[in-house]
Amino acid sequence: MTQAFQKVAAIRGMNDVLPGVGARWEQFEEIVREWLHAYGYRNLRTPVLEHTRLFARGIGEVTDIVEKEMYTFTDALNGESLTMRPEMTAGIVRASIEHNLLYDRPQRVYSLGPVFRHERPQRGRYRQFHQIDVEALGFAGPDVDAELIIMLARLWKRLGLTDVRLELNSLGQAEERAAHRAALIEHLEKHRDVLDEDGQRRMYSNPLRVLDTKNPAMQAMADSAPKLFDFLGAESRAHFDGVCALLDDAGISYRLNPRLVRGLDYYNLTVFEWVTDRLGSQGTVCGGGRYDGLIELLGGKPAPAVGFAIGMERLLDLWDQTAPAATVPECEIYVVHQGDAAQRLAARVGETLRDAGLSVIVHAGSASFKSQFKRADASGARVAVILGADEVAAQAASIKYLRADGAQGDAQQQVPLAELAQVLKSKG
Ligand code: ATP
Ligand code: MG
């Protein structure tokens, strides 16, 4: 006798997307792809697993992600340390170096898919979640920074979102950050008594990140800290002003947030986040910025780059609040049948209708017309095609419009099989 199997549940923080909601995801992804193509972005897909070193180097050893959020394990076959990607930029940059993507021109690429972080699950924070990741590789100017932001504003508009606002900052260049860093460490040393454990540990390794704290006891210290923005030189200022001018032209408002540093080590110049108050405490739907040093840091020929990542679950949550989802029908046409000959005909009719571009479910198995019609209703189809002995004999199909707003009301009509696809396509 086999032993009773203990049911398996999904891993905490990793969600199933059930069919009704899955249809919503598909609608969303369709809008997103159309939007990306409108700006010439092309799809690039990288593996979900990468060597751990890639992220340690590419994201930075002293970051939340690398310090405590990665799913890392040893490959039992060869002892290599592997990591489930916690973000997509590092993998995309690796791929662009490995395949020499930038050898003759810059590249606009995007990737859509799951990423993994070991965080405490709550609304808007999961252990497997999805990102829309967009990267403009090989572009130096403020024009592309602005274009990315303008592009995001277009997506919000397309989705009907109005409550998302833009926060902007500049992290300058390495030398400017070094000068600021010295001043900042001095400030942190002066306020050592209010620093929490993370703060104490990072005050020398990643002092900027200490300011990015959510600890209320450290807010006053963080507010009074020297601001990186005040350390920017003329060129960095000019880049920032360039971005702002283009945003002004596009009618996009923003708030300069000198505390915005983003969690990753590699950013320089422009950084930005789009935030909303409608998602509780996980209100950032998109974060991005320029990372001119990363390609070289990962072993490539030096090239500038800028990009962003959208958290899809958070954006979908927001979209659902703004434009509540209508149920998506399973199909347009549901074929019901009675008798062996009609069932065989139904299979053929289904294929013919699909040839014509219709979405069709042929009732599987046999059942009373009544229960088949119930299924037809539940499917959300707008028309039922009915095949019985009479229809087989007449080489015709009866059609019934299922929706109250259907072209023919409740009436049933017979249509010769040869004309069926055309009739179904032209009406309702
Ligand atoms: P947060 O400050 O909320 O932790 P982050 O700075 O770690 O965000 P990024 O690395 O910039 O996030 O990732 C880009 C986007 O991915 C975020 O703006 C957010 O919308 C989404 N995101 C990040 N972490 C999660 C998560 N654990 N679950 C769901 N979405 C997430
Ligand atoms: Mg985070």
pLDDT tens digit sequence for 270-310: 999 999 999 998 999 999 999 999 999 999 999 999 999 99
Q: Does the pLDDT at position 34 exceed 90?
A: yes
pLDDT band for 165, please (50, 70, 90 cuts): very high
Spell out which residues line ligand 1, taking CB within 6 angstroms: 87, 117, 119, 124-126, 129, 131, 263, 282, 284-287, 309, 311, 313-314
306 to 89, 235, 263, 421: CA distances (angstroms): 10, 17, 15, 49
Task: Print burial letters for 325-353: b (CB count within 10 Å at least 16), e (below 16).
Answer: eeeebbbbbbbbbbeeebbebbeebbeeb
Question: Which CATH number is 357's domain given?
Answer: 3.40.50.800
Q: Which of 322, 352, 387 is the last residue of a domain?
A: 322
Annotated binding residue 41: no
Q: Would residue 201 count as lying in a domain? A: no
The whole-angstrom separation of Cα 149 and Cα 273 is: 9
- Please compute the mean of the pLDDT values over residues 180-190 and round it to a whole number: 93
Q: Give residue 403's pLDDT.
A: 84
Q: How far is the CA of 270 from the centre of ligand 1 (A)?
A: 18
SS3 421: helix
Q: Check whether residue 280 and residue 156 sit in a common domain.
A: yes
Q: Which ligand is nearest to the CA of 152?
A: 1
State yes or no: pLDDT of 428 exceeds 80. no
Mean pLDDT of 103-110: 97
Judge whether 308 lies within some domain: yes
In the reported structure, the alpha carbon of residue 282 is separated from the centroid of ligand 2 by a whole-number distance in angstroms of 10
Q: Which tokens belong to 390?
A: 């009479």
What's the pLDDT at 19? 92
**Do residues 389 and 245 both lie within one domain?**
no
87 a known binding residue? yes
Q: Does residue 33 lie within any of the structural domains?
A: yes
- pLDDT > 70? residue 12: yes
| Nearest ligand 1 atom, CA 124 | 29
- Residue 265 is predicted with a pLDDT of 65
Does any domain span residue 208?
Answer: no
Distance CA 336, CA 366 (A): 9
Per-residue pLDDT, averaged over 357-377, amounts to 96
- For the beta sheet containing 165-170, the strands, ordered from the edge strand earlier in sequence to the opposite edge, are 42-43, 107-116, 128-137, 305-311, 284-290, 268-275, 165-170, 254-256
User: What is the predicted pLDDT for the residue at 238?
Assistant: 97
Residue 304 is part of which domain span? 19-172+232-322
